[in-house]
Structure 1
Amino acid sequence: MTADGQWLTFLALLLPFAAAAIAPVLTKALKHNAAWVLALAPALIFLHFTGFVGTISSGETLTGGYVWIPSLSVDFSWFLDGLSVTFALLITGIGALIVLYAGGYLKGHEHQGRFFSFILMFMGSMLGLVVADSFLTLFVFWELTSITSFLLIGFDHSREASRRAALQALVVTGLGGLSLLAGLLVIWSATGVTSMSALLASESALRDAPLYMAALVLVLGGAFTKSAQFPFHFWLPNAMEAPTPVSAYLHSATMVKAGVYLLMRLNPVLGDTAAWETILPVFGGTTLLVGTLLAVRQTDLKLMLAYTTVASLGLLVMLTGVGSEKAVEAAVLYLVAHSMFKGALFMVAGLVDHESGTRDITKLGGLRKAMPVTFAAAVLAAASMGGVPLFFGFLAKEEIYAGLGFADGWTTLLTLVALAGNGLMFAIGFAVALKPFLGAKTETPKHAHEGPILLWLGPLVLAGLGLVSALLSGVSHELVSSPMSTAVLGEPVTVTISTVPHIGLPLALSVLTVALGILVFIMLGQGRATMAGILAAIGWGPDKGFDQVMRGLTRLSFRVTNIIQNGRLDYYMTATFIAVAVAVLVPMGLYDEWPAAPQFPRMPFYEWTVLLIALIGLGAVIYARDRLTAIVSLGIQGFAVALIFMLLGAPDLSFTQFMVETLSVVILALVMTRLRLSPTDHRPTGEKLLDIAVAGTCGAALGLMLLRVTQVPFNTELSDFFSQYSRVIAHGRNIVNVILVDFRGTDTLGEIAVVMIAGLAILALVRIRSVKPLADNKEER
């Protein structure tokens, strides 16, 4: 990549975040025209990545980036091939349409600017994820998608359902993110590489590593939670609490496809093993069936589409797990087709709700004349979703059956699963597209009419692209499908499927799919009642299980907190000092680092005098009859230390010690006086003995550690460094002051901050105690 191309790519990755920063201000200034201006950001990024299509389609890959953390060999880097560029085009192309759609859908909303900011931050996070090369860059953007999707799903934060859905999505995908992080660390340990490009170049190094299974399970944990695979599928339908522009974007080209992207990206290095070809088809096939069956149960247009998104993600995972050339081609074609028709149908559902006031399919009908453009977009999108000839979805469905077939018992089972899932999705797609628009007109909360251009432009464009891209399948395959399949498979692939039906098993299965879909469509009411009865009989499900787990976690946290944070300061202090003693003594015992018996030095009489003063002060503290006397007596210890500093030729340290000790005694005495604490200690003898034991153990531990430290040969490197550079660098003669102020100035600042915070806490405590009697007196009066 040229220097200009690298710089422009870096700007393209930052542009969504820059647009997000100005979105609230711009929305306030431009009102209803802000969407057109903000949509320019993803449109420009789309054009930028379009410039790489020709190079990528010729078989090249591009890398670039900048040094991020040199000490760890971590770069902010990107890797562009058919997979990442296709995702980038979907994210930004559909993103531009979503921004426009949101401009019409949330017109007049008081927080529209905030929404634009959230959606653009999410766009930038997803874009960074799919082009990331270094593992750390990938993980950072992965987590950013979880955080920004949390903000989007919980956008209507005044509703409890929105808050719950947002929290649920964050918890599930956040835990998956931790699993992915562990997986990336395992891959790093197993292969020694920290970037996707280097990992892909290592070929079978990861498959042959002893840590392969650990890496696979951890990576699947991240991918399955993000892409809502069973049993983690429950968060995705609940995310429908978000505004429809969010649903259309998250469920078509972005959030939920992040896991599928990761599996496709790692297919060349993790795939082609028995574990990969078993786990992915099993979970993917199960998710496909569960998603479609649950979709039949729904009456909300968005929920019907949400569950078919779950099913589609399962189908993509299943095909990626099969891993054959045809299966990979099918996964690629279906991913692109799904992005177009599902984005269009979600926007149609939102448009119907926006203009009629309801999304309940049982309460909608006869809207065809009132909303002709929306109806046309819905039919085109449903035709692609159902795999009708001349649409891109038809190409994907033909390739699905060509990639599975009936080669053996395993592929036969997967083919039957795909057949059932595709038939049910055909029925749901046309139910969403036809039932609200055909039949007798029903009374709706709003007088239904066609929406403004901002609302129908997006679905019409995406639905139309599903037709145009199939009719121009040669161009589509050359620029998108073949390069993407090549990246997923790890070897050159040429996709050739066209809209011309080819007589054979795939076409026969397609016809059977349509027949099954029509049958389910006709009997959708009976199917809905049947599924409702089955689900009522089952009762418990993962969604309810999530609530139970969260409640159990809350109760456990409450009980643990009551044990370890019971409000007793003496308990906290005892536990802290026990921990200190253990931390010092246990390592010394394990590694046999006990000090040798010291030789008692010969001291002059004045040093004996200072030691005697310290001992007298210690006795005064122990035998003091009230706390105030103990505090004053405690100052004797500090003064004794200050005298030692003075006798050993450190007057500056001695002066500092005198000042600190004096201030400490004065402040503590003042606090104790204001707090009016009990003047005597009424603790039972057992507690006193425990405190004596803990204090004695800590004192012995620290004394032993100091003895051991002083018996180690003195290393003069630091002393020599400070002596040599304190005058040259810091321009100070007093080395101690230079160390405190310059060499460890940040540490000193931290100490000052601690003292200040402690002082503020003491002040607050004193004020609370001094104000309370006044309040009590007022109540009495």
Structure 2
Amino acid sequence: MADASQSVTFLALILPFLAAAIAPALTRILKHNAAWVLALAPLFLFVHFFGYLGDVAAGRAVTGGYAWIPSLGVDFSWFIDGLSLTFALLISGIGTLIVLYAGGYLKGHEQQGRFFSFILMFMGAMQGLVLSDSFMTLFVFWELTSITSFLLIGFDHSREASRRAALQALVVTGLGGLSLLAGLLVIWAATGEGTLSGLLSSGDALRAAPFYLLALVLVLGGAFTKSAQFPFHFWLPNAMEAPTPVSAYLHSATMVKAGVYLLMRLNPVLGDTVWWETILPIFGGTTLLVGTLLAIRQTDLKLMLAYTTVASLGLLVMLTGLGSEIAIEAAVLYLVAHSLFKGALFMVAGLIDHEAGTRDVRWLGGLRSAMPITFAAALLAALSMGGLPPFFGFLAKEEIYAALDFSGGWNALFTAVAIIGNALMLVIGFAVALKPFLGAAVETPKHAHEGPVLLWLGPLTLAIVGCVAAIFSGVTHHYVSEPMAAAVAGAPVEIYISVVPHASLALLLSIVTIALGIAIFLMLDRARDAMAAVLAAIGWGPDRGFDQAIRGLIRLANAVTGVIQNGRMEVYMTVTFVMIAVAIWAPMLMFGELPAMPTFPRMTFYEWTVFAIAAIGLGAVAYAADRLTAIVSLGIQGFAVALLFLLFGAPDLAFTQFMVETLSVVILALVMTRLRLYPSDHRPTAEKMVDVGIAGACGIGFAVLLLKVTQIPFDSTLSDFFSTYSYVIAHGRNIVNVIIVDFRGLDTLGEIAVVMITGLAILALIRIRLPRSTDVTEAKS
């Protein structure tokens, strides 16, 4: 039974990718009904993972997997506890609604099938990320989310803004991914654990390790870029160039929370230190304020929501960094609440744009009668975003203030930050939910009317779930909030907050927040103008800095390329042989590995004859009057080497050498006769002497190196192996041939490929037809 459950879980992990593979063809066949069929894939995931709620609520984690790279101890494994299960349910549940929503939003779009494929691939990547146990599978899925989000953000690739936003997201999150990889490797080396489950059971091993701070900084690099923490926040609002289903899914409920997931996951082993409890609250609080203040400036509904998403991620990071049990409870509650109300509001913004033709809040109004269901969904979601009962956002906000408690010092500062941030998020929530629907009707680019069921089903469902989850908070806490908080805290947690307000400091702070939010909402236009003036006075920002950094990188690349790739073959050859000489001589000189001078052996007359032939050939090359003579003379050296092979009992090597040398001379002579080159070398003597020195350093260096090798005691292990097994394994008695063809067959294939590529290059050279002078004259006339 356990094997069957493991197989189903494995199927659930790969199912989105299978659905992505068939999505384009299915969309062409089913047209507008493809969304209903494709939504069955995430629905299956949701139902499957929903079945784990009982086990996880009872404190049992579910693990499983298969061997992936056994030699490195890497498995394709999963780890399902309260944290990963909650994320899996959010990803699959909201994903089901997003697929349906996309079916209505992109109805008739010629690339709808491609979009479904991308969104399902992303879903699979995100699902794999939160369920991964192995560090390597975690990293693979982490990077896959960056790649698929790049495809989704740049979906409308004909627009420059979409391409820029996609590239920006990929660069920022990609660099963060490299930082995360380094951090995971440091953790692996410091603790000896390559899985999350093993790491979480290692106690204080990581905190006590000397590389703790390095691991923390590297992990934060990955988490902060993925979750758009200041100063990396700029990529997320720019990603609103993507279609609204992408914004509703990636940039509110799933991908941008991957960094928060990572911090929550590693809190039991990285948290509870001064560094953790300092860096996270400071950056999180700063991001909360920056996000909400920038949101006030916006008039585009999606941008308003995008900047509050940045702010919400900052709030989650701040709460995770505070580290107390109640702060973790608040973070857990807010994460769930945010996924529900922000996903709903993004879909509302897209629905308004789809049916009214604009997202600019200044040109919207009076849509309540034309879009009553959309208005109801927007209002319910905004009430949760504003932290009002009886919605899940109210539970989260009460717990936030209970965790901060305004007790002085850092807590007082973070409490003030939370009040300002929550008040401004209330302003934006109600600006999105009320301004487009209330007031006098405004003429919009399109005749506004209620959207089809595929468009309003998602936001209405999420808004209602946010209310139901709060009303039945006892059940929600037992199956979702408490197991999730326990996984983050590393110990059992009980949560008691409900929709019934209790007289407390937290309730008082909530009232202050609501009052401040209402006051700012009533003068939103003036607040927007004031914020615009502040931003204009500041001028420079990280977004512009990104463009400057990319331009600087391109200029640097051009400068470096101009130096090391200047198009002059003689420079490339000189640098190559200088580095060869350095590589040969430097180690021997630095480590005193020069060989002992050997005694000169007695040689026979025919051995002297071979050396004489080689010397004559060398002289002929050096004093050749033209290039062709030098090439032919160069072949004498190769023939001399072949004679040495023959004299010392290696006729097969001698034959190979004869063939290679003959072919080389013929090819070089052919090339030289077909190319228009100077017949002789006209370089100055000084330049020639430099080349002579480099050539001598390489030639003598190889001779000295080989001499040193021959003075080392011979290890016959490899020779014995080939002698023993060449016939047994490869059925060949010629050991050299067996080595070349069988034991190192891939090397031989590579050598053949090199020869083939060289031949093609030579063919390209000799086929060049330079224009005759008469042709040039005719062209000019």
Common fold by TM > 0.5:
yes
- Partner secondary structure for residue 731 of structure 2: coil
Aligned to 1:380: 380
* Identical aligned residues as a percent: 75
CA distance in 2, matches of 1:368, 1:602: 107
Aligned to 2:58: 58
Aligned to 1:293: 293
Distance 1:642 1:76, change over 3 A: same
Q: CA deviation at 1:773?
A: 8.3
1:412-461 superposed Cα distances (whole Å, 9 cap, x missing partner): 11111000000000000010011111111111111111111111111111
Letter in 1 for 2:211: L
CA distance in 2, matches of 1:174, 1:231: 16
Aligned to 1:17: 17
CA distance in 1, matches of 2:775, 2:526: 68
CA distance in 2, matches of 1:741, 1:143: 39
Aligned to 1:417: 417
Q: CA deviation at 1:735?
A: 1.2
**Are 1:731 and 2:740 matched, yes or no?**
no
Taking structure 2 as the reference length, the TM-score comes to 0.98
Q: CA deviation at 1:408?
A: 2.5
CA distance in 2, matches of 1:262, 1:626: 69
1:138-171 superposed Cα distances (whole Å, 9 cap, x missing partner): 1111111111111111111111111111111111
Q: CA deviation at 1:230?
A: 0.5
Aligned to 1:759: 759
Q: CA deviation at 1:376?
A: 0.9
Aligned to 2:279: 279
CA contact (8 A) 1:732 1:738 kept: yes
Q: CA deviation at 1:338?
A: 0.4
Q: CA deviation at 1:744?
A: 0.5
Letter in 1 for 2:650: A
Aligned to 1:485: 485
CA distance in 2, matches of 1:736, 1:580: 28
**Are 1:161 and 2:161 matched, yes or no?**
yes
CA contact (8 A) 1:61 1:80 kept: yes
Aligned to 1:135: 135
Aligned to 1:553: 553
Aligned to 1:339: 339
Aligned to 1:122: 122
More off after superposition, 166-175 vs 639-648: 639-648
Letter in 1 for 2:516: L
Q: Please list every run of 5 or more consecutive structure 2 residues that lacks an aligned counterpart in the other structure.
A: none
**Are 1:329 and 2:354 matched, yes or no?**
no
Aligned to 1:566: 566
Counting only pairs closer than 5 Å after superposition, residues 55-454 of structure 1 correspond to structure 2 as: 55-454=55-454
Q: CA deviation at 1:229?
A: 0.5
Q: CA deviation at 1:325?
A: 0.9
Letter in 2 for 1:396: A
- Partner secondary structure for residue 76 of structure 2: strand
More off after superposition, 561-570 vs 580-589: 580-589
CA contact (8 A) 1:100 1:455 kept: yes
CA contact (8 A) 1:675 1:769 kept: no
1:612-649 superposed Cα distances (whole Å, 9 cap, x missing partner): 11121122222222222221211111111211222222
- Partner secondary structure for residue 78 of structure 1: strand
Distance 1:651 1:457, change over 3 A: same
- Partner secondary structure for residue 75 of structure 1: strand
Aligned to 2:645: 645
Counting only pairs closer than 5 Å after superposition, residues 524-673 of structure 1 correspond to structure 2 as: 524-673=524-673
More off after superposition, 369-378 vs 388-397: 369-378
Q: CA deviation at 1:124?
A: 1.0
- Partner secondary structure for residue 451 of structure 2: coil
CA distance in 1, matches of 2:17, 2:772: 50
Aligned to 1:44: 44
More off after superposition, 768-777 vs 313-322: 768-777
Q: CA deviation at 1:764?
A: 2.1
Q: CA deviation at 1:778?
A: 7.8
1:439-484 superposed Cα distances (whole Å, 9 cap, x missing partner): 1111111111111111111111111111111111111111100000
1:332-377 superposed Cα distances (whole Å, 9 cap, x missing partner): 0000000011111111111111111111110111111111111111
CA distance in 2, matches of 1:772, 1:468: 85
CA contact (8 A) 1:580 1:698 kept: yes
CA distance in 1, matches of 2:29, 2:619: 74
1:703-731 superposed Cα distances (whole Å, 9 cap, x missing partner): 11101111111111111111111111111
Q: CA deviation at 1:317?
A: 0.3
1:671-720 superposed Cα distances (whole Å, 9 cap, x missing partner): 12111211111222222121111111111211111011111111111111
Q: CA deviation at 1:771?
A: 7.7
Letter in 1 for 2:719: S
**Are 1:707 and 2:707 matched, yes or no?**
yes
CA distance in 2, matches of 1:64, 1:330: 30
Q: CA deviation at 1:777?
A: 8.3
Aligned to 2:685: 685
Aligned to 1:506: 506
- Partner secondary structure for residue 406 of structure 2: coil
Q: CA deviation at 1:767?
A: 2.4
Distance 1:107 1:779, change over 3 A: farther
- Partner secondary structure for residue 769 of structure 1: coil
CA distance in 2, matches of 1:630, 1:28: 67
Distance 1:470 1:72, change over 3 A: same
- Partner secondary structure for residue 599 of structure 1: coil
Q: CA deviation at 1:252?
A: 2.0
More off after superposition, 400-409 vs 262-271: 400-409
Letter in 1 for 2:400: I
Q: CA deviation at 1:591?
A: 2.1
1:172-196 superposed Cα distances (whole Å, 9 cap, x missing partner): 1111111111111111122111111
**Are 1:746 and 2:751 matched, yes or no?**
no
CA distance in 1, matches of 2:474, 2:17: 36
**Are 1:4 and 2:10 matched, yes or no?**
no
Letter in 2 for 1:73: G
CA distance in 2, matches of 1:94, 1:262: 20
Q: CA deviation at 1:774?
A: 10
- Partner secondary structure for residue 209 of structure 2: coil
Aligned to 1:516: 516
Q: Please list every run of 5 or more consecutive structure 1 residues that lacks an aligned counterpart in the other structure.
A: none
Letter in 2 for 1:409: G
1:275-334 superposed Cα distances (whole Å, 9 cap, x missing partner): 111111100000000000000000000000000000000000000011111110000000
CA distance in 1, matches of 2:500, 2:766: 85
CA contact (8 A) 1:251 1:342 kept: no
CA distance in 2, matches of 1:651, 1:409: 87
CA distance in 2, matches of 1:637, 1:47: 76
